[in-house]
Amino acid sequence: MSMPMRPHRWTPPRPTARARQTHSDPPLPPPRLLPLPGNGPEDVVVLADGRLATGTDDGAILHVDPASGTVEQIAHVEGRPLGLHAETDGGLLICVAGRGVLRLSEPGGELEVVVGELDGAPLLFPSNVIRDSDGTIYFTVSSRRWPFEEWMTDILEHSGSGALIRRTTDGQVDVLVDGLQFANGVVLAPDRSCLLVAETGAYRITRYWLTGPHAGTSDHLVENLPGSPDNMLLGSDGLAWVGLVAPRNPLLDTLFPLPGILRRVVDALPDVLTPAPARTTWVLALAFDGTLVHDLQRADSDFGLVTAVAEHQGTLYLGSLSDPAIAVTSIP
């Protein structure tokens, strides 16, 4: 792109000892894989009938039966499907890079653009979306400067152009929290008191209060995570499940406080020479007061870059940024 990169200096928190470990104790059980006809099931949601919905990097929206492994394509979008939300009436909300937040009313149905622009500009990088029981839609925008294809540039720049957005039932679109570092996963508390947002570029989970004395304000619920949080989903256990797409990268953490020219140099390098995320299979589960309830990781898995984890009655369904499968495992 012709737009100049404008690096912002940042001193990351010192990584904890957990960030240097390659597995949890006990480790995440070995997953079985549900092969897909495309790559990168970036988000995975569990439907009312027990099937899974996901989207792959070729624009396919799929239903997957975790018991039989049967895969059915239910739609195709122009653009990269990212976060999904299964509605109670059978509809599916889909964040599509380059297009906005879309809605599929039923398998094979028409795709409707729910939000296509923000402040008069095209919605380039919607990341995750949920709908409240009252019809309000909340979604995140990872970057308002860079498209999905340049996600690493946004991480390197650290300019904080991500946001948490609300769309009301009458169509009004408002920015609730601005200045987020690569806003990603979003989840609504079961009591509807707050939203949690993963800030991939800052290793933290931010909380936005919807009710109570702090309504309309935000704070940092969890900071200094051992890896980069991605999608978030509310589990059947009432916990917020988070995929850690990669452990902390020591080279990146070293670069952030240094003069920005160094990050410009790294950004200009061919992809094969830039800091690649280390492959691991890693998920967390948090209570809404910030308590870490589950920390599950394994190092010797053939599934990596975990962008999503959907928990349903103790079973975990994992999505990936790149792999051609959904992984199925369980809470040990």
Q: Which domains does the chain have, with CATH numbers?
A: 19-330 (2.120.10.30)
Mean pLDDT for 182-197 is: 98
Helix (H, G, I), strand (E, B) or coil at 281: strand
Sign of CA dihedral 31, 50, 112, 196: negative
Residue 304 has a pLDDT of: 93
Core vs surface per residue 11-33: b (16+ CB within 10 A) or e: ebeebeebbeeebbeebbeebeb
Residue 300 has a pLDDT of: 75
Choose among 17, 21, 35, 26: nearest CA to 302: 35
173 vs 9: CA distance, rounded Å? 31
Q: Which tokens is 291 given?
A: 């308590």
Mean pLDDT for 297-307 is: 91
Mean pLDDT for 226-235 is: 98
- Reported residue count of the chain is 332
DSSP string, 201-236: GGTEEEEEE-SSTTTT-EEEEE-S-SEEEEEEEE-T
Beta bridge partners of 129: 139
202 vs 10: CA distance, rounded Å? 9
Position 215 confidence tier, pLDDT thresholds 50, 70, 90: very high
Mean pLDDT for 56-69 is: 98
- pLDDT per residue as tens digits for the range 254-279: 999 999 999 999 999 988 777 678 88
Position 2 confidence tier, pLDDT thresholds 50, 70, 90: low
Mean pLDDT for 41-66 is: 98
- Which residue type is seen at 26? P
137 vs 127: CA distance, rounded Å? 13
pLDDT over threshold 60, residue 230: yes
97 vs 249: CA distance, rounded Å? 25
**Cis check: omega of the bond before 259, within 30 degrees of 0:** no
Task: Calculate the average pLDDT of the chain.
Answer: 96
- pLDDT per residue as tens digits for the range 155-187: 999 999 999 999 999 999 999 999 999 999 999
pLDDT over threshold 60, residue 1: no
Q: Residue 153 CA to chain centroid, in angstroms?
A: 17
pLDDT over threshold 50, residue 151: yes
DSSP string, 96-125: EETTEEEEE-STT--EEEEE-EETTEE---
Beta bridge partners of 164: 140, 177
With pLDDT > 70 as the criterion, what percentage of the chain qualifies? 99
Mean pLDDT for 68-81 is: 98
Q: In the Cβ-directed half-sphere of 49, how many Cα atoms lie within 13 Å? A: 8
- pLDDT per residue as tens digits for the range 10-40: 999 999 999 999 999 999 999 999 999 999 9
Residue 128 has a pLDDT of: 98
80 vs 77: CA distance, rounded Å? 8
Q: Which tokens is 14 given?
A: 């010192």
The pairing of strands 292-298 and 183-188 is unpaired
pTM exceeds 0.95 for this model: yes
